[in-house]
Structures are given as structure tokens and as C-alpha cells.
């Protein structure tokens, strides 16, 4: 049955490409500057088919130079989105391809009025899923979304809601967006502020009255991206992106002890959990959590898109570790942390957002790969675990550094584990988000979401007690 499904989807892909009698509606190139360095290109093509349907194709290429401790590693991403849409611009089928430093993730599927049927192809595995479409939601292609905005009647402050499909965190997701009209130029060009529910990054886009995109910008504080039209592809230099300097440390360095307190910038938030509490803009972060009861421990034992705990080779490796260490769960969790740290032999920045299985096969990665692999290993060993995203105060780098780590639930309480950068008490961390326990995001997306209101600002260390 799986092979038949793949054959049908493969046939579907051929219908998403141009035919001899297709009409070219749009063919646009854009160059994206990140912090004023050419680091991105985007190519948008719209074809009209003889039956009145359309194909939207958007290909984006990104080159980043990740810098840490004097080491620079090029990181390349290519995303291709192809939507088959009906005459009204509603998506009926799609293919997505995400290539991250050579690792390919593909998604294919069809859309009905009520659901999205998807097959994800990744690491030699095919995974089918069904995504319900909420009542009243129409999933629009790229051009149809732009036409909805360009051909409407707006005054500044008016809002327009629309939805589409995207692949995030190795899953196909419904993305809901709100466009707020900002201004209309003398030549009729319309500028909107656009907010996505899954990635709250301040975005601005400008459209012609025909619906063609002529400019787009995103501002994440430490990184600003601007897209402008260009006659064709351009060579990409790649923007420098470092995990340090995302925020400014104010006040003394955090104490290496059981408790620290941090004042956040105005309007910034962090989630409360067993290790931190936010009250009136001040976060109290502790190294040891209080005992807690999990309403449903199985939430933190399941497979997730980046935690492929059903892989037989990875399961065999973990089972051997558990058999070798006949110890209580708290000790076992620490032994597994050490095992993961030792297993990842190439510790660098070349993996963008590798899953547990990526990391297990490649034995390569930075903090996100350590965290994903350790979470999967713990779950295979029947220890509830989650991946945490945020920052750690690292004396080695002179301040706050973007980071990923783990929490494990053992003997009735959550314990802190860090396979990538150990030896720092949890009180020196600030959690901004998580990717586990029902959260959809991949580690990169969750970190961007958490940083949205904190980047480029100050975090002040206060005395441990009021």
C-alpha cells in the first residue's frame, strides 16, 4: 500500500510542472540582504494551465556563515514550494522540498475541503499524516494570497486574514496570517505588516495593484532581512550569524548557584515551568525543581517529527546502554547524557536543525542536535523528556548565547540535562520555548519565536533574592 501511495504521489508531482500550453503569469527574482549582505535569493513563478488552474512555485536559497569561537561554517538551505491551485486560488495539491546542507526532506499531498493528506519523505522513511482543516479556512497559494491583499479596499489599520500551507519542523502545517494595511503609495503600491501565528516575526511587504511582490522585510532585532527585485539570480556571499550577541547582558554575571533573577525588557515574556517563574517582568530561575505530578507522562514518551524513537538501530543502541547500566532512573538519565555527549564525535555548526535520527546516523551537530538525540534516547529508555530552547549565560563567550538543552522527568520531578555544554547550573539559563510535549515547532523555529521580543535588548541580572 505504501508503494502504491508513493507511485500516485509521484504521478501527482508531474502535474505540477509546466506543460507545452501553459501560460506564464509571473516570473520574478528577488535578492535578500541579511544585515546588508546578499544572503538569499527567491524565485517566484506562476503558470496558468489550459483548464484554468494554476501552479505557484517559489524557490528560496539561503547562505549563512555561522560563527562561534573563531570558527566559521557555511550553512546552506534551499526551499522549494509548489502549489497546484484551482481557479479561485485555493490549494488542491502541493510538493515541498527542503534541503539543508545536503539533507533532503520532501512533502507531497492533496487538499480537500476538510483535510490535508500528506506524505513526508525523509532519511529513507515515508510518513503519512492527515491534517484537519478548521471550518471556514481556505488554504491559498502564494499568488492568490497576494491578490487578496492587492485587490481589496483598505484604509490604514484594516486587517485581512488568510491561510496557507508550509513545511516546518518536518511537518506540513497550516499557517494563519494577519495582514495589517499600513499605507498606499501614490502609484497604488500597498504596504502591509504581516504576522504569522507560528512565527511572530515583524514582517512588511509591498505589492503592486496587480498583486506582484515588489519588496519585503523582516526584523528580528539582531538580524534584518530585506528582499528586493532583481533581474535574475545573484551570487550569495552569505550573512554572518553568531549565537552570541543576541541580547546584551546588564549587571553582574549570574551566580553559579541555586537561584538567579533576571529583569527582562518591556513586553518580553518567557514561559513559566518547573525551573523558572516570571512575575512583573522579573524571572526567577532555579537549578533544582520542586516535585511535580505529570498529568500524562506519555506526552513526553511519544515519537515526534524530530524524535524518531521507532528507529531500530537507535533503539538497539539505547537498549544496550540501559542493559549495561543497571541503575536507578536519575543515574541512568545522567549516564545517557554522557553517552550522547560522547557519541556525537563531530561537534560543529554544520547541521542546521538535525533530528535525533539525523544526529544518530551522522554523529555530528551542535546544541540542537545534542538535545534532539538525548530527548529521543531518554524516551526510548522510558524516561519522559523534552527539548528546551533559549539562552545560557556562558562565561566562555562573555554573555548570553542561544542554546538548546533537555529536561527529564525522574523520580517525580524534572531534572536539568545538557549534553552539549554541561557544567552550568540551570539557574544560569532562560527558557524561551520548547519543541516537545505536543509543541509543533522544530528547534530553530521555536527559538526564533521565543526570541521575537527579546533580541537586541538588555537582560539585567539582579541579586538572587529580592
- 73-82 b/e (C-beta count within 10 Å ≥ 16 → b): eebbbbbbbb
Nearest-CA neighbor of 205 among 191, 187, 218, 225?
A: 191
The confidence score (pLDDT) of residue 8 equals: 38
The confidence score (pLDDT) of residue 437 equals: 73
Q: Is the pLDDT of residue 310 over 70?
A: yes
Across 185-223, where does the E strand assignment appear?
Answer: 190-196, 203-207, 213-219
Strand partners, 284: 261, 277
Name the band, by pLDDT with cuts 50, 70 and 90, for residue 350. Answer: low
Burial of 204 (0-12, 13-18, 19+ CB in 10 A): middle
The domain made up of 248-462 is a member of CATH 3.10.620.30: yes
Residue 316: enclosing H or E segment and its boundaries?
helix 312-324
217-226, 263-272, 444-453, range with greatest mean pLDDT: 263-272
The answer to whether the beta carbons of residues 207 and 190 sit under 8 Å apart is: yes
DSSP state letter for 22 = -
Strand partners, 99: 78, 104
Phi and psi (nearest 5°) for 125? Answer: -120, 145
Instruction: Give the CA-trace dihedral at 242, 243, 244, 250, to 10 degrees.
Output: 140
The cell for 400 is 548570553
- Segment 323-343 shows an average pLDDT of 93
The confidence score (pLDDT) of residue 445 equals: 58
Q: Is the pLDDT of residue 90 over 50?
A: yes
The confidence score (pLDDT) of residue 67 equals: 64
Q: What angle do CA 133, 128, 120 make, to 5 degrees?
A: 95
Q: Minimum mean pLDDT among 33-47, 57-71, 134-148: which range? A: 57-71
Interatomic CA distance for residues 379 and 325, integer angstroms: 16
Percent of the chain at pLDDT above 90?
61
The cell for 57 is 512555485
Q: Is the pLDDT of residue 332 over 50?
A: yes
Q: What angle do CA 13, 19, 22 make, to 5 degrees?
A: 120
pLDDT in tens, 161-212: 999 999 987 889 999 999 999 999 999 999 999 988 877 678 999 999 999 9
Q: Which sequence spans correspond to the domains of the chain? A: 2-241, 248-462
Nearest-CA neighbor of 378 among 439, 314, 301?
A: 301
The confidence score (pLDDT) of residue 10 equals: 43
**Helix axis angle, 367-380 relative to 443-451, nearest 10°?**
120
**Checking DSSP bridges between strand 54-68 and strand 248-250, what pairing results, if any?**
unpaired
The confidence score (pLDDT) of residue 454 equals: 78
The cell for 392 is 545560557
- Segment 58-66 shows an average pLDDT of 84
Interatomic CA distance for residues 246 and 357, integer angstroms: 29
- Segment 350-375 shows an average pLDDT of 89
Instruction: Collect all residues with Cβ–Cβ distance below 8 Å to 256 and sequence separation of at least 6.
Output: 424, 425, 428
Q: Is the pLDDT of residue 87 over 50?
A: yes
Interatomic CA distance for residues 62 and 319, integer angstroms: 39
Q: Minimum mean pLDDT among 73-82, 92-101, 337-346: which range? A: 73-82
Name the band, by pLDDT with cuts 50, 70 and 90, for residue 158. Answer: very high
Residue 49 CA, distance from chain mean position? 34
The confidence score (pLDDT) of residue 466 equals: 54
The cell for 71 is 570558527
Instruction: Collect all residues with Cβ–Cβ distance below 8 Å to 298 and sequence separation of at least 6.
Output: none
- 390-422 b/e (C-beta count within 10 Å ≥ 16 → b): bbbbbeeeebbbbbbbbbbbbeebbbbbbbbbe
The confidence score (pLDDT) of residue 11 equals: 42
The answer to whether the beta carbons of residues 333 and 378 sit under 8 Å apart is: yes
Interatomic CA distance for residues 389 and 433, integer angstroms: 5
The cell for 135 is 471550518
The confidence score (pLDDT) of residue 225 equals: 84
Q: Is the pLDDT of residue 15 over 60?
A: no
The answer to whether the beta carbons of residues 264 and 270 sit under 8 Å apart is: yes
pLDDT in tens, 203-252: 999 999 999 999 999 876 666 788 899 998 888 777 766 666 678 899 99
Higher pLDDT, 18 or 264: 264
pLDDT in tens, 102-134: 789 999 999 998 999 999 999 999 999 999 999
Helix, strand or coil, per DSSP, at residue 211? coil
Percent of the chain at pLDDT above 70?
86
Amino acid at each position: 500500500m505504501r508503494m502504491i501511495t508513493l507511485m500516485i504521489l509521484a504521478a501527482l508531482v508531474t502535474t505540477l510542472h509546466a506543460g507545452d500550453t501553459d501560460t506564464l503569469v509571473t516570473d520574478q527574482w528577488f535578492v535578500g540582504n541579511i544585515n546588508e549582505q546578499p544572503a538569499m535569493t527567491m524565485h517566484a513563478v506562476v503558470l496558468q494551465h489550459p483548464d484554468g488552474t494554476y501552479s505557484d512555485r517559489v524557490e528560496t536559497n539561503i547562505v549563512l556563515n555561522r560563527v562561534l569561537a573563531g570558527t566559521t561554517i557555511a550553512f546552506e538551505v534551499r526551499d522549494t514550494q509548489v502549489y497546484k491551485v484551482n481557479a479561485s486560488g485555493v490549494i488542491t495539491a502541493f510538493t515541498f522540498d527542503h534541503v539543508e546542507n545536503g539533507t533532503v526532506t520532501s512533502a507531497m499531498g492533496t487538499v480537500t475541503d476538510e483535510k490535508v493528506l500528506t506524505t513526508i519523505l525523509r532519511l529513507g522513511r515515508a510518513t503519512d499524516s492527515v491534517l484537519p482543516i478548521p471550518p471556514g479556512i481556505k488554504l491559498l497559494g502564494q499568488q492568490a494570497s497576494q491578490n487578496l491583499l492587492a485587490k481589496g479596499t483598505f484604509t490604514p489599520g484594516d486587517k485581512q486574514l488568510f491561510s496557507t500551507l508550509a513545511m516546518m519542523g518536518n511537518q506540513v502545517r497550516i499557517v494563519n496570517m494577519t495582514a495589517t494595511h499600513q499605507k498606499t503609495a501614490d502609484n497604488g503600491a500597498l504596504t502591509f505588516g504581516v504576522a504569522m501565528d507560528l512565527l511572530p516575526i515583524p514582517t512588511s511587504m509591498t505589492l503592486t495593484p496587480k498583486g506582484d511582490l515588489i519588496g519585503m522585510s523582516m526584523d528580528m532585532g539582531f538580524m534584518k532581512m530585506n528582499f528586493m527585485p532583481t533581474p535574475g539570480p545573484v551570487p550569495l556571499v552569505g550573512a554572518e550569524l553568531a549565537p552570541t550577541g543576541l541580547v546584551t547582558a546588564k549587571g553582574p554575571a549570574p551566580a553559579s548557584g541555586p537561584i538567579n533573577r533576571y529583569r527582562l525588557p518591556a513586553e518580553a515574556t518567557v514561559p513559566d515551568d518547573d525551573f523558572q517563574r516570571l512575575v512583573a517582568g522579573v524571572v526567577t530561575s532555579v537549578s533544582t525543581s520542586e516535585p511535580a505530578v505529570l498529568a500524562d507522562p506519555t506526552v513526553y514518551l511519544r515519537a515526534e517529527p524530530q524524535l524518531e524513537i521507532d528507529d531500530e538501530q537507535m533503539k538497539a543502541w539505547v537498549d544496550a546502554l540501559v542493559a549495561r547500566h543497571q541503575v536507578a532512573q536519575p543515574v541512568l538519565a545522567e549516564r545517557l547524557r554522557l553517552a550522547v555527549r560522547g557519541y556525537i564525535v563531530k561537534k560543529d555548526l554544520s547541521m542546521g536543525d538535525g533530528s535525533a535520527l539525523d544526529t544518530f546516523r551522522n554523529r555530528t551537530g551542535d546544541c540542537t542536535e545534542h538535545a534532539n538525540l538525548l530527548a529521543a534516547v531518554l524516551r526510548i529508555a522510558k524516561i519522559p523528556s523534552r527539548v528546551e530552547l533559549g539562552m545560557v549565560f556562558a562565561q566562555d563567550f562573555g554573555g548570553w548565547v542561544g542554546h538548546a538543552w533537555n529536561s527529564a522527568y525522574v523520580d517525580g520531578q524534572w531534572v536539568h540535562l545538557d549534553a552539549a555544554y554541561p557544567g552550568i547550573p540551570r539557574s544560569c539559563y532562560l527558557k524561551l520555548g520548547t519543541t516537545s510535549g505536543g509543541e509543533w515547532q522544530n528547534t530553530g523555529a521555536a527559538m526564533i519565536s521565543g526570541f521575537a521580543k527579546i533580541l537586541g535588548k538588555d537582560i539585567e541580572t539582579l541579586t538572587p533574592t529580592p
